[in-house]
Chain A
Amino acid sequence: MSAASSSPSDTPAEPLLVTVRGLSFRRGDRIIFQNVDLDIPRGKVTAIMGPSGAGKTTLLRLIGGQIRPNAGRIEVDGACVHELGRKDLYQLRKRMSMLFQSGALFTDLTVFENVAFPLREHTRLPEHLIRTLVLMKLEAVGLRGARDLMPSELSGGMARRAALARAIALDPMMILYDEPFSGQDPITMGVLIKLIRTLNDALGLTSIIVSHDVKETASIADYIYLISDGLIVDHGPPDALENSSSAWVEQFLHALPDGPMSFHYPAPAYAQDLALEEEPSRD
């Protein structure tokens, strides 16, 4: 573990699937990431946590090549994602999946057809084999019986599980999870937690979970990065972070209302805004 550092130099010496070096990204004048370094080891569940608006989802989109960094380098399995042409990028994406916060199921297709979608698009498997594969994936997430339902007929948790079945349809090497637990009831959350860990271990995946659900994410993560204000504030295994002396980590992990992270968005003085104080002279 390192305190308030953006260097991943002390991450476990394991084979890496994703390496991020010197990443800088801004939206307009707002800096989202500033010279960030980050390593994602193969075969592990790595969590990226931080407050809302810290750029967690943006980081997933950068790793997936959906947006390009302003500076730095992002390598996935040895390929620099933002330097790849569309064809090569799509080849790489066939080996990675992303579970979107909303599930992003295709609303005009049944659950079965949603899971079959990547198989139909990228393989020429006969129909009976596609059926077998889809039923296997749906069985893994407990939705084999819901194969004929439309996405609008699913609960939030079921939609996310169906999206998870679709995400593993092509047996990817890596899955990016964008806030998989947000808005879920405790039972569904427990099911998702178990599924993510089980699928990661059973299928030999690499999982990156972006979340601000501290307890749930920490329970299945092998390694955690904490990000805030465009920097990696701290990183390490969950138990090491739990004992961190960093005031920021203490505030975030224990959901303390007061600490280094201000409750208020930057603003002029309250009294001045309410016109209770005279504005400073401009002489």
Chain B
Amino acid sequence: MIDGLQRLGRSTLGWLNRLGRATLFLLRLLGALGALVRRPGLIIKQLYSVGVLSLPIIAMSGLFVGMVLGLQGYANLVDFGATSSLGTVVALSLVRELGPVLAALLYAARAGSAVTAEIGLMKATEQLAAMQMMAVDPFARVFAPRFVAGFIAMPLLAGIFTAIGILGGYFVAVYQLGVDSGAFWSQMQAAVGLVDDVINGVVIKSVAFGWVANWIAVFEGYDAIPTSEGISLATTRTVVNTALVVLALDFVLTAIFFGV
């Protein structure tokens, strides 16, 4: 019993210690953002790496999720003769929840883990130490560009995921299930609000998820034990912690924006 309490106390203190270090890291990261204004090329290079290279998985996943939503939505709506509302169901599901959440989870798996592994390896191979010895701050040169690029890319990827998802739902609904094309789009247009659904849903959520996903990815790389096992653990932690934080944050944001 006492041992269990001690272990719980130790792990809680360890977790708090890590959270404190991550917060200090974030503050230093934010302090280094000013240097990026003069060097947009660093962000653009990383945008390609975390954004453009994530497009295939985001587009393919969005397409399949939208198609599944079309099939599932039709199967339920057809009983009530409400198949013309399929566009609304697909769009609201994607815009409010699935678009930002799934895009964030896929982003963490594709780009977040890569950022962690890259920074962890730079640490293990003394590239970060070499940079410091050359009087170049890794916060300004390595961490901040990756963080900012990811923060920019995340909402764009969530938007692309959502748009392709809606198209996937449309193709299934109209060409496979025979739903009227005009009804699909007009019902969607009437039901989906710009502020209530798009801004509060995909925009704000993906901005928030982009912040935490990239904070976690960059910090885990920086904090990785510079060994093969340490980098492997850090990469895993990036994916697991991002998934947990994104899902918890999604609940909080949903309660704020869509809670009754």
Contacts and interface: CB of A to CB of B under 8 A. Distances in A.
Interface in B122-156: 125-127, 129-130, 132-137, 141
Assign chain A's interface to a size class: 20 to 34
Contact of B133 (A98, A107, A121): A98
Contacts of B135: 90-91, 93-94, 121-122
A101 B121 CA distance: 16
A90 B137 CA distance: 9
B136 A102 contact: no
A98 to B, nearest CB: 4
Contacts of B126: 100-102, 104
15 contacts: A66-B129, A90-B137, A93-B134, A94-B134, A94-B135, A96-B133, A97-B133, A101-B126, A102-B126, A104-B129, A105-B127, A107-B125, A118-B134, A121-B135, A122-B135
Interface in B30-50: none
Given A86-B137, A93-B132, A117-B134, 13 more contacts: A66-B129, A66-B132, A93-B135, A94-B135, A97-B134, A102-B125, A102-B126, A117-B136, A118-B134, A121-B134, A121-B141, A122-B135, A163-B130
Secondary structure of the A side of the interface? mixed
A104 B137 contact: no
Contacts of A101: 126
Interface in A101-136: 101-102, 104-107, 117-118, 121-122
A64 interface: yes
B63 to A, nearest CB: 32
Contacts of B130: 98, 100, 104, 106, 163
A101 B136 CA distance: 19
Contacts of B121: 107
Contacts of B133: 64, 66, 93, 96-98
A106 B141 CA distance: 12
Contacts of B141: 121
Contacts of A90: 135, 137
Nearest to B141: A121
B46 to A, nearest CB: 11
A90 B136 CA distance: 7
Contacts of B129: 66, 100, 104
Contacts of B125: 102, 104, 107
Contacts of A163: 130
Contacts of A106: 127, 130
A122 B133 CA distance: 13
B7 to A, nearest CB: 22
A68 B121 CA distance: 24
Interface hub of B126, B133, B137 (most chain A Cβ within 10 A): B133
Interface string A153-185: 000000000010000000000000000000000
Contacts of B136: 117-118, 121
A91 B132 CA distance: 11
Interface string B73-93: 000000000000000000000
Interface in B4-60: none
A90 B35 CA distance: 15
Contacts of A105: 127
A163 B129 CA distance: 13
Contact of A107 (B127, B132, B137): B127
Interface string A52-78: 000000000000101000000000000
Interface hub of B121, B125, B135 (most chain A Cβ within 10 A): B135
Interface hub of B126, B129, B130, B137 (most chain A Cβ within 10 A): B130
Closest 8 pairs between A and B when the two form their complex, measured CB to CB: A104-B130, A90-B135, A93-B135, A104-B126, A98-B133, A94-B135, A100-B126, A118-B134
Contacts of A94: 134-135
